[in-house]
Structure 1
Amino acid sequence: MSTPGDESRTEVAWREIVEHYGERPLLDDESTHVVRTPAEPVPAEDEQDDDSAATDDVPAAEGFRPPPPPPFPTPRTWQRGVAWAGILVAPALALLIGLLSIYVAPLIGWALVLWFVGSFGYLVLMMPRSPRDPWDDGSRI
């Protein structure tokens, strides 16, 4: 437990750290500068609700044209759609058949298994071998 004497020692230690932190620049006339402590609120200057005022401060770049947008991605092939259906639909159908005790020919059961395994193998083979950007660490902003 802390005692009141410990708290004052802690406050004094923090105050000394703050007062002696870093190098202080030499100012010409200290009487003209306002020194604020962290406890004092900073007065709000003309608060505006819209964001248009923030853009007024930024000078417009003359003659700036944004780069052309990237091309549209190539559409997915129908094989990829069938493969994803095999990954999602085949196990769902097998589960439904098993839970409802529906009799199906063994050939249909093996077809569902082959559809799932073939779909998984196709998607693994179609995965890119290298990352899009070798220097990318995966973070996006």
Structure 2
Amino acid sequence: MARDDDPEPADLAREREREWQEIIENFGDRAVLEPGDEPVVDAPRRAAPDDLDQDDLGATAAARDQVPPDEEFVPPTPPPVPRPPFDRLLAWTGVFGVPALVLFFIVVGVTLPAWTGLLFAAAFIGGFGYLVIQMPDEPRDPWDDGAVL
């Protein structure tokens, strides 16, 4: 078995040197293909809607509808979105609702009293802190990717 630090045979070294020299000499040149090198591809001709007969329309519809309607896949109705507990809903409202409300007031041009700004800041920080405290301490199972079948 050959090792990485074994010296290359002289023929292999000369061949690699020749290939590198060829690459350097042809760098930036555009490849020229011979006429016989290009594969011949017959592109299917799509007919314009005016060119189609009624028979052609029926044939394409029949080809499209080969699966019987009773065998078509119908996905099940997804379950309803779960509602978070009230305490977490209140915390998420503080984290996302307060900045949205402040941005709305800035765009509209409403000036709020200073105590309202302090209340908004406390709601944001309190909601964020509560969500951080409620995070689980132990790491997730590394093999659990969260997919449910």
TM over 0.5: no
TM-score normalised by L of structure 2: 0.42
**Structure with the bigger percentage of helix:** 2
State TM-score, norm by structure 1.
0.44
